[in-house]
Amino acid sequence: MTRFKQIQKQLNIGRSIINTERGFILMTSLMMLVILMIIGIAATNTTTIELQVSGNDKVATQTFYQADGGAQVGIGLVESNIEDIGFKSNTQGGVHVNTLDLYLNDNTPMDWANPDAYLPNNAVGNDPRTDISVRSISGAQAGSGLQMVAGYEGVGKAAGSGGGVIFYDIGSRHSGPVNSESTVVLEWNHVIK
């Protein structure tokens, strides 16, 4: 019987190990590690997406400011073109001019395939560049009466408080990196003196 008691004692020891919670700490630790790993992966994915969004926002902002700067360059080109009554060469201060008589442009829609001028930005192929397109129409300012006959007031002066004016639409389109594109169109009025 002693052998029987020994076997029974061993079985009781096995049951007591099963009934105690000695493996609970290990299982809890593993579950916590899995939960922390899932949180870490989610945080990494969120950070990656946020970095992409902020990078795209940076490119979009830079592209907009390049287009806005191109519109400001367009104002200078128009005023220089009016002063010189047409450009003599195709390069004006680093700006490549396709149309030498910007002051005579008509009021047709802007043709971005054939811009009037562009800022090369070291453009080769599809590199970023800023295109400038100018459209104009002449008219009279509100409250003016243009003099048809030269009188004591002087030739070409307005009889009223206004005067002749050329209305310009100056457009600038910048094609930047990562297929970003921004277009700025502003109105510019040149008063004829």
| pTM of this structure | 0.66
**Helix (H), strand (E) at residue 166:** strand 164-175
Which stretch of 41-45, 62-66, 77-81, 83-87 has the lowest confidence by average pLDDT? Answer: 83-87
Lowest-confidence range among 5-14, 96-105, 145-154, 183-192? 145-154
Answer whether 181's CB lies under 8 Å from 56's CB.
no
- 59-66 mean pLDDT: 91
Cβ contacts of residue 186 below 8 Å, gap of 6+? Answer: 71, 75, 169, 170, 171
176 close to 182: Cβ distance less than 8 angstroms: yes
Residues 6+ apart with CB under 8 A from 98: 90, 114, 115, 116, 117, 118
Using CA atoms, how far apart are residues 191 and 187, in angstroms rounded to an integer? 13
Percent of the chain with pLDDT over 90: 24
Q: What are phi and psi of 180, to 5 degrees?
A: -85, 145
DSSP annotation of 132: E
pLDDT at 152 over 50: no
Using 50, 70 and 90 to split pLDDT, how confident is the model at 154? very low
Is residue 163 over pLDDT 90? no
Q: For all residues of the chain together, what is the average pLDDT? A: 78
Sheet holding 164-175, edge to edge: 91-92, 95-97, 117-119, 129-140, 164-175, 181-191
Alpha-carbon distance of 70 to 131, in angstroms, equals 7
| Residue 77 contacts residue 136 (beta carbons within 8 Å) | no
Stretch 114-124: mean pLDDT, rounded? Answer: 72
Q: Is the pLDDT confidence value at 185 over 60?
A: yes
Whole-number pLDDT of residue 151: 44
User: In the predicted model, what is the mean pLDDT of residues 148-175?
Assistant: 65
